Structure 1
Amino acid sequence: MSKSTLNALAAVLLTATALIPSHAAELKLLIDDTTSVIPTEVTYRVSPEGLEVKGWVAKRHPHSGRILGHVEIRLLDDAGAVLAQKDTYMVHYSPTRTNPQKASFSTLLPEVPKETATIEVAHRVGKTMDGN
């Protein structure tokens, strides 16, 4: 590799370690299963761009209507206080289809506070953080 390529790679790695806490790979994953649509198969990984969270939402009772709403991802500290929150929409399904069984979601949180201990994932119906 050329020297300029190595320098660029080193800069990216330094930026990633500054934004992502070193313990991010050890975060707890908390799934809210109290609603009729439940996040499943949720995974996360640390990348140079941030914390990627993805998975599926599935209906608790098959053939029981549409999947509406959004997925809410919250980063919590040890005491359960919310440090950051991001809402994302489901993809790979048709919201107007009468009986979809599940839909996928994927999002990126570019900045992860050092105090983050838990990633909470929940399905919500209603307005998102930005009011949509």
Structure 2
Amino acid sequence: MPTGRVKWYNAEKGFGFVSRDDGGNDVFMHRDALPDGVTELKPGQKVEYGIVDTRRGVQAMAVTLKDTPQQRTRRTEPAAPRRSPEELHGLIEDMIKILEDQVMPPLRRGRHPDRKQTGKLAEVMHAVADELEG
């Protein structure tokens, strides 16, 4: 069976498209092709599917989910005011320095970085992502 990744899916409209792993044209996917109980798909989610040729083009049938994307839970406290572009630029520069100085060297040596450092870095990366999402 062919595999691919969800390009986009609109649950309200009940359809979306899958990018094929074999590099072919995108495949139309209707909600009727989804497994029972699945009502929503996330971009990048890996799927396996059958293909049927219709007069409108190739359509996915009997979709099987191969993975479920991990989602970060949103903070429940009120949103802080957005940082200025200059502050955000500084945060990103600091994050890059941490990556270059503390994460990349052990990876080059075939080792995982220290968990304490990566935990702190993950917090910084989440903060930057929250700022970028606005």
One fold, TM greater than 0.5? no
Structure number with the higher strand fraction is 1
Give the TM-score of the pair, scaled to structure 2: 0.22
Q: Which has the higher contact order (CA 8 A, sep 6+)?
A: 1
Give the TM-score of the pair, scaled to structure 1: 0.22
Please identify the structure whose Cα radius of gyration is greater: 2
Structure number with the higher helix fraction is 2
